[in-house]
Structure 1
Amino acid sequence: MLKFARYPVASLLIIGLITLAALAAVSGLYTLWMTTVLSGDAKAVNLSGSLRMQSYRIAYLLEQDAPQEHIASLLDTFEERLTSAALKGQIPSDHPHLTAAFSTVEQRFEQMHTAAIETPEIYLQEVDAFVEDIDTMVAQLESWSENKVQNLREQQILITLLSLLAAILFAIIINRRVVLPLQRLIRTVHRIGRGDRSARVDFQGRDEFGRLASTLNRMADEISQVHGSLESTIQEQTAELSRNNRILEFLFTLSQRLSTEKPDITALKHQSVEELRLICPEHSINWHQQMYETSPQGYVVRCDADQSYLICEQRNGLTAWQKQLLQTVSDLFDNAISRMGAYDHENRIALLNERSSIARELHDSLAQQLSYLKIQVVRLVKLRERQADEETLNSIIDELRDGLNSSYRKLRELLVTFRSQLDEPGLLPSVKAAIDDVNRMSPNCQIHLYIEDNWPETLTPSQEIHCMHVIREAITNVVKHAKAENAVVSMKRLPSNTLQVTINDDGIGFGETLTKPMHYGLDIMAERAIRIGGNIDYKNLNHGGAGVTLTFPLNASEEDRL
């Protein structure tokens, strides 16, 4: 009950909807009941009408001297219809004329039944009168049914008028209690939304809309009060935002200029001072290489990287954001100068690493090869002094020639390695470009590339350089020596976190090359595999051709990274 009292509009809507629903339900149930009753009346009328035809059929059989069993069957059917619930059950006890007509038909049927069995002549004489009694009963039954239909029509009209009246009354109440207050509220909200701070709802009440109107008016009063104070706040915030944007733009530009490889620190300090004076026009700001006495209001920020000072001299004290700005500018210069020193240090380290790499390459490959050739030269001199046979001397000369050729190839390969850089950003684009160049210049041999999706996007620089040179050396050998028509370069990642590069061709294979050292650069390719912590395998394929398989770990060692 308290809830209904607190929400009268909602209660009114609920009661009105329940009333309309109840009227609709009563109308529907009443119509259903009358339809059921009228359907029984129609069946009773049909049955009573069929009794007339049944009477004449009995008379016809009597005139034709039909067998007694046929006549008895029709009489039984007549009696069943007359006494059936569909006919006798529909005769109302409160309708005297219909009850009397039905009783007359029942009594006459008993007489006509006896006459049809015992004295057919009497049945034939009385049949017309009997049918008139049946007609009277049918007429009474039809009249009674029509009266019920008329009563139903009148009652339906009454219920419809009541429902219409209730709907009109409900619509009027809804319009006055809901629609009109809601329209006023909407108009007021629209006026407030358009900036009319004087807009107020002009009605009062104790229902929901009245409370809503009071709340809206209080809200409009508060908005009007707050709006005035917000204008000044917005202006202050706008000025602060503009200043912050200018500061951010200045810091971003300064950071970009200091991020170059070799920024001009002196010129950038001068430019930064000019920008700071524009941002803080009421203060005197300068860079000084050494500390000196400042006024009590002075503010000093030290740049540790070059022992310089950013000093602000002003009559009034600095605000927090101005101090933060000066500190940030000093930090940017400090980081840039420190980065320049670190960059020079890294360059020196890179130069030392490069020299170590050249020395290691020369020692592990060319120096050992030259030592071997030196031993062969000493051996040749000793054999000549001993006057060895020509065949032995020629074999040593051949070994020296092959060794010199191999050393030359190694020297050329080392020079290429020291000067090499990937033409494309990354290993895969460089491999594709190299294969495209080979296919374009060697139409008789086509190189095909297959790269699995799980191949890593990036490797260490050393891995990319050495892997690229192994692939380039292998496809060069295929074109120059294998006499192949097709070759496949396959790059995939094994489950053991290992990378595998395979180069297979359909040429003549290695033959005896694998048993001879220093041939076709195979030893150089093996050394490159070792440099990246892997190994390389050479084999003749069963179906013909040669295969080169390079396997190396994905995670590079510290030595490989250097």
Structure 2
Amino acid sequence: MTTPPAYPPIPGHLRLSTRIAGALVGFLLLALTAIGTTLWLSWQLEGSAAAINETGGVRKQEYRLAMLLGREVRAPGGGYARDARAQIASIDATLALIDRGDPQRPLGLPPTAAIRDSFSMATLRWQRELRPLALQVLQARGDERLPPLRDFLGRVDAYVAQIDAIVGLIERDNEVRTFWLRCSQLALMALAMGGTVVLVYLMFSLIVDPVERLQAGMRSMADTDFGVRLDVASQDEFGQLAAGFNRMADRVEQVYASLEDKVREKTAALEGQNRELALLYDSAAFLQVRQTLEPMCEGFVERIMRYFGADGGSVRLIDANTDKVHLIVQAGLSDEMVKAERCMPVGDCLCGEAAQGKLPVVRLLRAVPGPDVSRCAREGFATVSVFQIFAQDQHLGVFSLHFRSETSFNDRETALLETLGRLLGTAIENMRLAAREREMAISEERNMVARGLHDSIAQGLNFLNLQVQMLEQSLHDGQQQDAAAIVPLLRAGVKESYEDVRELLQNFRSRLEEDDLNSALRKAVRKFRDQTGVEASFKAEGGGGLPFPREEQLQLLFIVQEALSNIRKHAHADKVLVQVRDGQDFSLSISDNGVGFDAAAVPASGDSHVGLHIMRERARHINADLAIESGSGAGTTVRLYVPSAHRRAA
């Protein structure tokens, strides 16, 4: 059985648009008919008036023709014959024009048989009687003209009287047409008034009244009178609107009756969502704090236990090398259970099974006596839920919640716990990455320190060792003079090694004050000037670039210190300039006017020239390009360049 549609299709003749359009089209057709009739009668009257004028003009033309013929007979040769012939042609043209009419003027005889017959008889009389007599007068000579002239003049008055009769017929026809014109105009006025009344009535009955009923119903609904209903008085669109309004009123009345329950449900749902968001924000903020693994996991377990009302909880991480699950932190578990599950294989017990399956598990436990009862059931727990800890796609472990009553999780709570597991996994992985970073940084720094010691202290001690052997040999051989020559070399070597150790210690203790690279470089240059007496200056330009991270600033400071150390040891310079240009790109140069060296002969790596190799390693560490420009007797310039594409902001 099919359900009838809530809004059945409206028959075409009952549609509001059809009825309104029909009324308007009908009124338009009546108005066009009345206007067309009026225009047609007006056109006929104008044509008849022109016909009266032209027909009346024939009388004047006949008398003028008679006058011209008389003058021609009395005074031949005076040009009256020519004018008479022209007058005859004019009368012919006028009669022909009246007979055929002229729609553009307009000009035309009324379409009545009496008028048409009378005009045809008048035209025929002119053609057969008057026109031949007038031509005979013009063609005769002398006294022969008098008889036809007298005959023409005798007949003119009768012909003019006939023309007057035709004009009278046209005027009486015009009176009739004028009457009908007035009637059509009155009818048009009546149609306008009646049509307006009918259209107003239709608009009120079809549109205004239904809209007012709808408005009254809406006003009652706004006043919380949900029992109001509208009468469905038609089958058109407003009838469907009224039916729809009644259905809406039924629905609103039902909804309003259960509104308090729905508000209570929505409020509870919002409170639950707010608690979830609060847990997520609290957990995310807590896990972002730098701390060790155990306090971080303890705070995590404490928060989810408090939120879900759990009686116990734990965090376990997987050792991929040994395929073991290690208990990191726990709460609410007995010492015996902790001791038994501190380290267990993947797949053992419920937590191990969940870690192996990598899926959330919620299990209801039945405390049935027997050897197969799980350890959690013996502890008095009725429900154990285990969720996974992921860092992106890497599986790190599981965390569990233990309940002493039967507990289930809906989809939203399960999604929340899975999200919390990913947050914890990300925090653990970030902690591990930070530890690896620190280890790598320490390892790299140790390698650089080792190279520095090899380049300075180790080589100095090797030189001292050779000198001591030579001193011992000289004393053994009794060569006092050679021994005395070796002692100053030993003293100079010890002093140089002492200065190298002191410089290394000072470099190791270098720190950036308030993350200001220029201040640290200026301080290093000033210390170099105070210790060596060399004229050293620092110049900084720009300052519009992004600040470097603190680690990269330290690397730049160490490069400058290493370059200044090389100048002190080998350059024999008396002027040094350290210059910084900090824009979109960053450039640093250390120049001296010392003895220089053959830069092309220095290898890019190796055990010799370890100081230069250390500077290159530090430059690579911060994605910088390092170039050394030098020549024998031409000084040395160390240039470091960091393009904007490789520049990282602090």
Tell whether the structures are fold-level matches, with TM greater than 0.5: yes
Alignment partner of 1:25 is 2:69: no
Secondary structure in 1 matching 2:290: coil
Task: Give how far 1:516 is off.
Answer: 6.3
User: 2:444 corresponds to which letter in structure 1?
Assistant: S
**Bigger mean CA deviation after superposition, 369-378 or 114-123:** 369-378
Secondary structure in 2 matching 1:117: helix
Task: Give how far 1:361 is off.
Answer: 3.6
Alignment partner of 1:355 is 2:384: no
State the alpha-carbon separation in 2 of the partners of residues 489 and 24 from structure 1.
88
Counterpart residue number, 2:108 = 90
State the alpha-carbon separation in 2 of the partners of residues 86 and 115 from structure 1.
30
**Which of 82, 86, 89 lines up with 1:76 in the alignment?**
89
**Bigger mean CA deviation after superposition, 253-262 or 127-136:** 127-136
Task: Give how far 1:195 is off.
Answer: 3.3
Counterpart residue number, 1:157 = 186
Task: Give how far 1:76 is off.
Answer: 2.1
**Which of 270, 273, 288 lines up with 2:332 in the alignment?**
288
State the alpha-carbon separation in 1 of the partners of residues 115 and 412 from structure 2.
116
State the alpha-carbon separation in 2 of the partners of residues 320 and 175 from structure 1.
62
Counterpart residue number, 1:497 = none
State the alpha-carbon separation in 2 of the partners of residues 434 and 40 from structure 1.
113
State the alpha-carbon separation in 1 of the partners of residues 401 and 135 from structure 2.
141
Q: Does the aligned pair in 1 maintain the 2:44–2:110 contact within 8 Å?
A: no
Task: Give how far 1:241 is off.
Answer: 3.1
Alignment partner of 1:100 is 2:113: no
Counterpart residue number, 1:318 = 407
1:450 and 1:188, CA in 2 relative to 1: closer, same or farther beyond 3 A? Answer: closer
| Unaligned runs of at least 5 residues, structure 1 | 388-399, 425-429, 436-443, 452-456, 475-479, 493-500, 541-545
Aligned counterparts, 1:102-141, within 5 A:
103-104=121-122, 107=125, 110=131, 113-114=134-135, 117=138, 141=170
Task: Give how far 1:461 is off.
Answer: 8.3
| Unaligned runs of at least 5 residues, structure 2 | 1-8, 140-144, 314-330, 338-375, 390-395, 471-478, 482-492, 523-537, 564-574, 603-610, 631-636
- RMSD between aligned alpha carbons? 6.8
1:468-526 Cα distance to aligned partner (Å, 9 max, x none): 9999999xxxxx97999xx987757xxxxxxxx6799xxxx9999987669xx999976
Aligned counterparts, 1:270-419, within 5 A:
272=303, 276=307, 287-290=331-334, 291=337, 298-300=382-384, 311-313=402-404, 317-320=406-409, 324=413, 328=417, 335=424, 339=427, 343=431, 345-346=432-433, 348-362=435-449, 367-368=454-455, 419=511
State the alpha-carbon separation in 2 of the partners of residues 168 and 529 from structure 1.
96
1:397-447 Cα distance to aligned partner (Å, 9 max, x none): xxx9xx99x999x9699669x7459948xxxxx89x999xxxxxxxx9994
State the alpha-carbon separation in 2 of the partners of residues 96 and 354 from structure 1.
128
Alignment partner of 1:236 is 2:265: yes
User: 2:212 corresponds to which letter in structure 1?
Assistant: Q
Task: Give how far 1:83 is off.
Answer: 1.1
User: 1:318 corresponds to which letter in structure 2?
Assistant: T
Q: Does the aligned pair in 2 maintain the 1:301–1:311 contact within 8 Å?
A: yes
State the alpha-carbon separation in 2 of the partners of residues 407 and 56 from structure 1.
150
User: 2:33 corresponds to which letter in structure 1?
Assistant: V
Task: Give how far 1:242 is off.
Answer: 2.4
1:291-321 Cα distance to aligned partner (Å, 9 max, x none): 487786744567999999855445xx43535
TM-score (norm 1): 0.59
Looking at CA atoms only, which structure, 1 or 2, has the larger radius of gyration?
Answer: 2
State the alpha-carbon separation in 2 of the partners of residues 411 and 39 from structure 1.
125
Counterpart residue number, 1:245 = 274
Aligned counterparts, 1:50-61, within 5 A:
59=67
Q: Does the aligned pair in 1 maintain the 2:385–2:402 contact within 8 Å?
A: yes
Q: Does the aligned pair in 1 maintain the 2:624–2:640 contact within 8 Å?
A: no
State the alpha-carbon separation in 2 of the partners of residues 471 and 129 from structure 1.
140
TM-score (norm 2): 0.53
Task: Give how far 1:199 is off.
Answer: 1.4
Secondary structure in 2 matching 1:245: helix
Counterpart residue number, 2:289 = 260
Secondary structure in 2 matching 1:200: coil
User: 1:335 corresponds to which letter in structure 2?
Assistant: L
**Bigger mean CA deviation after superposition, 177-186 or 305-314:** 305-314
**Bigger mean CA deviation after superposition, 262-271 or 229-238:** 262-271
Aligned counterparts, 1:1-16, within 5 A:
4=11, 7=14, 12-16=19-23
**Bigger mean CA deviation after superposition, 152-161 or 465-474:** 465-474
Q: Does the aligned pair in 2 maintain the 1:204–1:214 contact within 8 Å?
A: no
Q: Does the aligned pair in 1 maintain the 2:48–2:110 contact within 8 Å?
A: no
What fraction of aligned residue pairs are identical, expressed as a percent? 18
1:207-232 Cα distance to aligned partner (Å, 9 max, x none): 66556545644554455445545543
Counterpart residue number, 2:79 = 66
State the alpha-carbon separation in 2 of the partners of residues 171 and 523 from structure 1.
101
Q: Does the aligned pair in 2 maintain the 1:302–1:330 contact within 8 Å?
A: no
Task: Give how far 1:80 is off.
Answer: 1.6
1:116-174 Cα distance to aligned partner (Å, 9 max, x none): 73669868999899778766655654554454343233124325534643553454355
Secondary structure in 2 matching 1:320: coil
Q: Does the aligned pair in 2 maintain the 1:81–1:87 contact within 8 Å?
A: no
1:79 and 1:299, CA in 2 relative to 1: closer, same or farther beyond 3 A? Answer: same
**Which of 227, 241, 264 lines up with 1:198 in the alignment?**
227
State the alpha-carbon separation in 1 of the partners of residues 22 and 233 from structure 2.
23
Secondary structure in 2 matching 1:90: coil
1:12 and 1:275, CA in 2 relative to 1: closer, same or farther beyond 3 A? Answer: same
1:306 and 1:16, CA in 2 relative to 1: closer, same or farther beyond 3 A? Answer: closer
Q: Figure out how many residues of one structure are paired with residues of the other and give that number.
A: 499
